[in-house]
Chain A
Amino acid sequence: MYSIDSRSVIPVYEQLKRQIVLSIVSGRLDEGEKLPSIRELAAALRINPNTVAKTYRQLETDGYVTSRKGLGVFVSAGVRELQSNRIEIFEELTDEYISKAAGLGLNADEIIKGLAGRLKGEIEHDKNE
């Protein structure tokens, strides 16, 4: 479900947060759906339970989830509709893409060309279908 990239310089709580936000915004996690318990998620990913707790706290502060005492943590209602969330996610994905491409030694021009070519390819592919 979720995974941690050991080579990434992005802290684990942040990696986890991005993945959960993405699954909420994309609808893979439904409104009102329960997130795994801290213990389950920490054990499954073999990460410190404090890290998961930190992720959940931040998700709650940002309004993505609501924690109900004794019951668990649930996806907040109405969160998918927020356009600002989509933009934020898109910006984070873009940052991640750029930093990974730069890590391969590509410069800005090459990154843009690569992305544009790929997008064009996809659009043409769609037309053919």
Chain B
Amino acid sequence: MIRMSNLSFAYGEREILKDFNLELKAGETVMITGPNGVGKSTILRLLAGVLIQQSGEIDHGYPKGTDPRQKTAFLPDSLSFYRSMTPLEAAKFHAGIFGTEPSDLELAQKAGVDLSRHINELSVGQRVLVQMAIILSTDPELILIDEVLHSVDPYLRNILFTELIEVMEEKNPTVVMVNLNFHDIEHLAGRVIFLGREGIRLDESVDLLKAKTRRVIAEEIPSEYPVLLTENVMGSRHHIVYPFEKKNRRNHR
């Protein structure tokens, strides 16, 4: 169990998180979504130990003296990862930091990445794959994936998800994914968290979420509907209503 309690974080004057609380069960797969600028990536960075909160606490549930960073695989949204090295050099370097065996980069090899080239000469998709191969090799108990996969083509993305699923099956890590394309991961996540400016607006298992959510297509929607978000789909307005309750249903249809 990972417990984030009363976390507050600000970039200078700009407050991103305030008194934020979240618990993650060991082995669950969680998707965090919501509009830009509400702190989704910040939550990942705090969990990864890349950023430190101004107040509050994160308890990763490890024995005392464990550095959570050693048990975390973090795929950030910007790929500034060991650019001037070849993938093999990067794997060695990373293993040195974490005190683990270097990744054999099988994942990247499978996808046809030329391992003798420098990382900054690879395509974005190939870079993501190299990075994924390296971070997964450290036997993580926590896997954090930020919004990077939209720049990866479907072929490489498929290889990536297959690898992730294998690791999930074998090691049962806790997985947190931010803002990925919902269709890519809707059956991968067991729990969805929707973050708004006021904090968590929705926290629900995927199974229940589907049962409780309706897409209403209408120009205007009565104000008593709890609209989670509104999007324009080919010229018409789609309102995602959650929770869609019986009393609403009577008014509709």
Contacts and interface: CB of A to CB of B under 8 A. Distances in A.
Nearest to B185: A46
A11 B204 CA distance: 13
Interface of A: 4, 6, 8-9, 11-12, 38-39, 42-43, 45-51
Main secondary structure of the interface of B (DSSP, over half): helix
Interface of B: 27, 29, 161-162, 165-166, 168-170, 172, 183-190, 206-207, 210-211
Given A48-B188, A51-B187, 4 more contacts: A6-B186, A12-B187, A42-B169, A43-B166
A9 B208 CA distance: 9
B166 A39 contact: yes
Contact of B187 (A4, A9, A38, A39): A4
A38 B166 CA distance: 9
Contacts of A39: 165-166, 169-170
Nearest to B253: A105
14 contacts: A4-B187, A11-B207, A12-B187, A39-B165, A45-B187, A46-B161, A46-B187, A46-B188, A47-B187, A47-B188, A48-B168, A49-B165, A50-B172, A51-B187
Contacts of B187: 4, 6, 12, 45-48, 51
B25 to A, nearest CB: 11
A59 B187 CA distance: 20
A38 B169 contact: yes
Contacts, number: 50
Closest 3 CB pairs of A and B: A49-B169, A47-B187, A11-B207
Contacts of B210: 8-9, 11
A12 B190 CA distance: 10
A12 B168 contact: no
Given A47-B187, A48-B190, A50-B27, A12 B207 contact: yes
B183 A6 contact: yes
Contact of A43 (B161, B170, B183, B189): B161
B189 A48 contact: yes
A43 B183 CA distance: 15
Contacts of B170: 39
Contacts of A50: 27, 29, 168, 172, 190
Contacts of B27: 50
Contacts of B190: 48, 50-51
B161 A9 contact: no
B162 A43 contact: yes
Question: Which among A4, A6, A38 has the greatest number of chain B C-beta atoms within 10 A?
Answer: A6
Given A9-B210, A12-B207, A43-B161, A48 B29 contact: yes
